[in-house]
Structure 1
Amino acid sequence: MTGAPEPLDRLHPGLVHHIVNTLGWPELRPLQEEAIEPLLDGSDAVLLAPTAGGKTEAASFPLLSKMAQENWTGTSVLYVCPLKALLNNLLPRLETYTSWLGRTAALWHGDVSQPRRKRILRDRPDVLLTTPESLEAMLVSTNVDHRAFFSGLQAIVVDEVHAFAGDDRGWHLLAVLERLQRVVGRPVQRIGLSATVGNPDHLLTWLQGSGSGHRAARVVAPHLREASPVLPPPGDIQVDYVGSLENAATVITALHRGEKRLVFCESRRQVEKLGQSLRAKGVTTFLSHASLSVDERRRAEEAFTEARDCVIVSTSTLELGIDVGDLDRVIQVDAPASVASFLQRLGRTGRRSGSIRNCLFLTIDEDGLIAAAALLLLWSRGWVEPVVAPPEPRHIVAQQVLALCLQEHRVGDRLWQEWWGGLGPFGASAEPIVRHLIEEGFLDRDGGMLFIGPEAERRFGYRHFMDLTAVFTAAPEFTVLSGRTEIGTTNPALLTEEVVGPRRLLLAGQSWQVTYIDWSRRRCFVEPVDGGGKARWGGAGSGRTASYELTRAAREVLLGADPPVTLTGRARTALAQARESSSELVHPDGTVVVRGGRDTNVRWWTWAGYRANATLTATLTTIADPLQRPTDTCIRLREDATPAEWRKVTSEAADQLCLPAVDARALNGLKFNAALPTRLAEATLAARLADLDGATAALREPTRFTALGQ
């Protein structure tokens, strides 16, 4: 590395020696080089790069150098990830890097054994890899002296920070980091690692929390300096229309034999059905999704890594940085939910020298074809979704106040806000939530001190308040076992619905016949059979909704815009048919109100996305049909609506938007909603269902009426 740039000279010489001689790297990547100076100088930072861009090394090399140069002691670096599997995958690499300087790394999450945890508490590792939930569990545990354990903490690395920031796990992470920083008693450097996002500066401000505006901060993203997006050649991104999941299996079987293929599906049910079809066609197939047991997924991922001519079918569980070896192809069934997800998946390929990034879309219906074309249209323009934290996380505030009282045993009723340093929703606006917690017995107050009350004990006290620290839990499912081997989990509805003949499940790509159900322990025992199994889950992949931007791009596609990728003959034919059948629903100069057409209803085709349409439905109560569920593309109006009435109602609506109504049953999906006043729980959900900007844009567009009033 003779003549290396000045920043490289600041790394510890022992580390540079191993980079050159052990890793065999002639030089660092641009991101790794540019991260050295700000990280060594103590700045907070977000490091952006495409998948496999070397972000882990960009963060760890400067921090390990600083650890050696400043003689940090104890657990001085936390490495936080959203997935346990990602932590498991990273541990060997970080153990190697720390060992070069005589330091150590260790893993702490829910699957780590008690003996191993005791060793970690006794001999603190220099780098600890963990999840936010496990970190909070350490703060509230009576077995961990958190002040002593974290006394040497200097820096926190948040991997896949964009995956946190866009949902409530991000608010939970920020709140836990603020509490941890107060325990440590000094500011702690924060470094986020992220794939490309549309608003990196905003993401960095978010990550800094209460330190925003008070600490030096920098976005490091060399690839964003390029004047235009670098796209793979058009032939390497292809869109095909296959018409069914079974046909997708036929195409996957016929194409790219002898290669390693990763297939993404948008639901667990699709993964199971496609996996079963591929195996029936003689393809070596492995599966990965959240309802498969940890051991089942690990076996599949290890076998896939070692094999060659094979397929692994997965939901988004393999979207993040988990290493599944050297891939040849990525195949996408229909379209992912976002451009950001597509970038993550595309980045799984092209890692081998001489190989290129590629993705084949196999769309199984018209909606999937249009969604894929719309997504690729936005991607071709270099557009990526901004990461925005969900508004008004009152349920997380309630959980955090309870967790703080559990951590500290007693907290001053005037001092609790200080633990979050004035961070947004944890400041003065949280006062009504704390009053409610006291009034309902979740908290007790005595002598100006707050502590855990009987209602919190009753609702969350199971197994040392484990349910309080497990902020995000899946819907209750039954564990499926074959003998003593856990296969995964299934929806209870499959075990209770009426069936003719034996009850059969589809799980891990295999049909199973139910032999016994242990209702009290939520366990289901099965044995393998040849076929007939059914798969069903709720949650991700069921009833997805599109954003304003993606829905608008779909409108562009129907108006004739083609993404600059390869469309097969089948895709072009199906797209032409979709454009023909939708010609009365789209117009280049604005929105369309149509009476008749596909049905007898009057519909306003806004092409504004689900949340904007839900906002419009709530706002236009005198003209919108109250008995409807808005879609991404349109809302239903009253059958007797006239153009004059429509214009009158909408003329001033943009200045009087209403939040969508909330179904009381939806509150059950908001964990800790029981610790909130009902009106605040409903207000939280309503704010998250709304898109005020999208609704305003739709209202201000010109509108064309077809057959209305005739």
Structure 2
Amino acid sequence: MDILPSIKTQLKHSWFPFFGRFGTLTPVQIATIPHLLAGKNTIVSSPSASGKTEAIMAPLIEKVIGEKELSLLYIAPTRALVNDLFYRLKEILMACGLKSTARTGDRPNIPIVLPNILFTTPESFDSLLCRYPKIWSNLKVVVLDEIHLIDNTYRGDQIRVLIKRLTAEYVKNLIFAALSATLARPKAVAERYFSPQAVIKVGMPRKVNLYLMNNWKEIIQFLRKKRWHKVITFCNTRKDVERLYLEISKIWPKERVLLHHGSLSKGVREETEKMLREWSWGICISTMTLEVGIDIGDFDAAILYHPPTTPSSFQQRIGRACREDEDFEVIGYYGNDAEKECFEFYTELSNQGLVEEIEYSPDPSVAVQQIFSLLYAHPGGVDEKRMMDILSPVCLKETAKEIIAHLLEKEWLTIRHSGIFATEKLMNLGERGLIHSNIPNQGHFQVIELNTGKPMGEIFTEATEGNVFVLAGRCWQIVNVKKRRLYVKLISTYPKKIYFKKRPCRGAFTPYLPEHLRKTAPK
């Protein structure tokens, strides 16, 4: 039975703005739309460029048509993705009669006239929940995009508690939708945030054609032989991006080489992204800043300059190219035999549709951050029972009491007969906007082998003890962090799935925990 006519009829307001230029639907859209039209909480797991965003937004728009206030909250993990979604969907939403806005660190204020749809990050959502308590009463829908990037981290746990606060304090009966790249267990992931009534897993893994090389002249010749005109190259550090830009500019037309990394100004990055959307040929060299799905057009192939630190990062990067092709075309630049083996290992996992299955472990630092956020939002105090209920997604009642007692001792909190209150010290922290982000020390670090003191290279990562990453094709674990140096130990000369079973998810508020909880925080 052809259900397309039925779907088209039900998408009364959104069909033409979203699908009019296509005239048909992708498999993930056909599978997803009926569930959301029926108001079911849904998680959608499918490969990149499969039409997931339209699959959830079109039917959800039908749920908020005619609403005068904020009705749909769309949470994405990065500022770049939030802004990209906003600009990409703004006119489509206007055609549906809906106003939208984006709220990130780049846009500090909510408009006087509320939008119907708000795009934001987890940290900005936290800030909004504290500072604008009256805007949520008409909310109907919450969307969690790229959930695989933040699940089982301090940011995912923060969203879990924020959703608990939202539904406990402001609004009931929400429809939830989550979007993800390929997940091993999408239902289990969704259950951490809402009660999923529909689990959509569509799309077979696309084959990865891997070409291993270690010479840039050879790579450029190969690109020309294959007639691959537009290519994205991923590096693991800004230093590599800058160095590679100079090297490639000597053997490829310099005016057709672009670079993109986090140290560039926002204006320069956005100009690069605009040129990539418009170009039909050229090479872009980037760090992880272009891993997440902002619109930069399609590429004929992806080049990975040395293996990324995890299998999931490998799949995220190659997914930026060949979006309309059957196979992924990937060139792996290796520095030694271990890196060759690492590329082959990552490719094998990708061809099987596998990513590292990470054991879930809540991060207790989120309890501290959310206690601060909750009390800042409620200067009149919060009773203990309510506090325990709010924190239940990330810690047991006994643990929450320990944390509160420790924060009392450190004079962040005070207790009166009517409940728990923030001290002036905590309120001042909130006024400065320093309580909404739990993102820890992040940046470029020199990697040093602990036993020998030998420098092993440089990586961009979160400086968390216990973290496992790949460098030079081998698996390392962080033992100690001192300023911009990571002291590591070698745990394997060959990457295996077992080494990616646990994710260190200690957020920036870990030092505020009681000592024994700091030591037992997940590694």
Alpha-carbon separation, structure 2, partners of 1:158 and 1:84: 14
Alpha-carbon separation, structure 2, partners of 1:84 and 1:333: 25
Equivalent in 380, 386, 401 of residue 431 of structure 1: 401
The residue correspondences of 1:212-223 to structure 2 (distance < 5 A) are 212=195, 217-223=197-203
Alpha-carbon separation, structure 2, partners of 1:273 and 1:309: 21
Alignment of 1:631 onto 2:490:
yes
Q: Aligned partner of 2:71: which letter?
A: S
Q: 2:368, 2:512 within 8 Å by CA — same for their partners in 1? A: yes
Q: Deviations over 1:584-614 (max 9, x none)?
A: xxxxxxxxxxxxxxxxxxxxxxx9x656x99
Q: Aligned partner of 1:290: which letter?
A: G
Alpha-carbon separation, structure 1, partners of 2:366 and 2:462: 21
Equivalent in 329, 346, 353 of residue 358 of structure 1: 329
Which residue in the other structure is 2:229 paired with?
Answer: 259
Equivalent in 442, 461, 465 of residue 539 of structure 1: 461
Which residue in the other structure is 1:563 paired with?
Answer: none
Deviation, 1:7, is 5.2
- Structure 1: 5+ residue runs without aligned partners? 478-489, 493-534, 555-606, 615-627, 636-659, 661-665, 689-710
Alignment of 1:14 onto 2:13:
yes
Equivalent in 25, 28, 32 of residue 25 of structure 2: 28
The residue correspondences of 1:583-622 to structure 2 (distance < 5 A) are none
Q: 1:260, 1:329 within 8 Å by CA — same for their partners in 2? A: yes
Deviation, 1:268, is 2.2
Deviation, 1:441, is 0.4
Alignment of 1:136 onto 2:131:
no
Alpha-carbon separation, structure 1, partners of 2:507 and 2:438: 10
Alignment of 1:679 onto 2:480:
no
Alpha-carbon separation, structure 2, partners of 1:419 and 1:287: 47
Distance 1:331 1:311, change over 3 A: same
Normalised by the size of structure 2, how large is the TM-score? Answer: 0.84
Which segment drifts farther, 670-679 or 362-371? 670-679
The residue correspondences of 1:267-286 to structure 2 (distance < 5 A) are 267-281=237-251, 282-283=253-254, 284-286=256-258
Q: Aligned partner of 2:123: which letter?
A: E
Alpha-carbon separation, structure 2, partners of 1:191 and 1:286: 36
| Larger-gyration structure (1/2) | 1
Q: 1:7, 1:37 within 8 Å by CA — same for their partners in 2? A: no
Q: 1:442, 1:675 within 8 Å by CA — same for their partners in 2? A: no
The residue correspondences of 1:507-586 to structure 2 (distance < 5 A) are 539=461, 545-546=468-469
Distance 1:405 1:338, change over 3 A: same
Alpha-carbon separation, structure 2, partners of 1:9 and 1:301: 33
Distance 1:57 1:428, change over 3 A: farther
Alpha-carbon separation, structure 2, partners of 1:670 and 1:64: 35
Q: 2:43, 2:186 within 8 Å by CA — same for their partners in 1? A: yes
- Structure 2: 5+ residue runs without aligned partners? 447-456, 480-486, 495-501
SS in 2 for 1:632: strand
Distance 1:203 1:62, change over 3 A: same
Q: 1:140, 1:403 within 8 Å by CA — same for their partners in 2? A: yes
Alpha-carbon separation, structure 2, partners of 1:682 and 1:436: 15
Q: Deviations over 1:442-478 (max 9, x none)?
A: 10112232121244357x35xx131111321545x9x
Deviation, 1:632, is 2.6
Alpha-carbon separation, structure 2, partners of 1:431 and 1:331: 50
Q: Percent identity?
A: 24
Q: Deviations over 1:316-337 (max 9, x none)?
A: 2211111111312211122223
The residue correspondences of 1:152-171 to structure 2 (distance < 5 A) are 152-171=138-157
Q: Aligned partner of 2:364: which letter?
A: R
Alignment of 1:471 onto 2:438:
yes
Deviation, 1:362, is 1.4
Alpha-carbon separation, structure 2, partners of 1:300 and 1:385: 32
Q: 1:77, 1:156 within 8 Å by CA — same for their partners in 2? A: yes
Which segment drifts farther, 380-389 or 672-681? 380-389
Which residue in the other structure is 1:409 paired with?
Answer: 379
Which residue in the other structure is 1:195 paired with?
Answer: 181
Which segment drifts farther, 292-301 or 432-441? 292-301
Q: Deviations over 1:455-514 (max 9, x none)?
A: 4357x35xx131111321545x9xxxxxxxxxxxx999xxxxxxxxxxxxxxxxxxxxxx
Q: 2:406, 2:514 within 8 Å by CA — same for their partners in 1? A: yes
Deviation, 1:138, is 1.2
SS in 1 for 2:328: coil
Distance 1:302 1:467, change over 3 A: same
Alpha-carbon separation, structure 2, partners of 1:670 and 1:35: 34
Alignment of 1:316 onto 2:306:
no
Which residue in the other structure is 1:367 paired with?
Answer: 338
Which residue in the other structure is 1:558 paired with?
Answer: none
Equivalent in 381, 386, 392 of residue 422 of structure 1: 392
Alpha-carbon separation, structure 2, partners of 1:670 and 1:347: 28
Which residue in the other structure is 2:449 paired with?
Answer: none
Q: 1:260, 1:328 within 8 Å by CA — same for their partners in 2? A: yes
Which residue in the other structure is 2:69 paired with?
Answer: 74
Q: 2:36, 2:42 within 8 Å by CA — same for their partners in 1? A: yes
Q: Deviations over 1:57-94 (max 9, x none)?
A: 011011011223xx444111011111111111111332
SS in 2 for 1:320: coil
Q: Deviations over 1:396-452 (max 9, x none)?
A: 101101110001113334233355273242644311001111121010112232121
Alpha-carbon separation, structure 1, partners of 2:402 and 2:10: 50
Which residue in the other structure is 1:379 paired with?
Answer: 350
Alpha-carbon separation, structure 2, partners of 1:346 and 1:441: 49
Q: Aligned partner of 2:199: which letter?
A: V
Alpha-carbon separation, structure 2, partners of 1:221 and 1:634: 35
Distance 1:169 1:541, change over 3 A: closer
State the superposition RMSD in angstroms: 3.4
Q: Aligned partner of 1:539: which letter?
A: T
Equivalent in 34, 38, 54 of residue 57 of structure 1: 54
Deviation, 1:155, is 1.0
Deviation, 1:342, is 2.8
Equivalent in 40, 43, 46 of residue 43 of structure 1: 40
Q: 2:206, 2:327 within 8 Å by CA — same for their partners in 1? A: no
The residue correspondences of 1:626-705 to structure 2 (distance < 5 A) are 630-633=489-492, 670-684=507-521, 687-688=522-523
SS in 1 for 2:126: helix
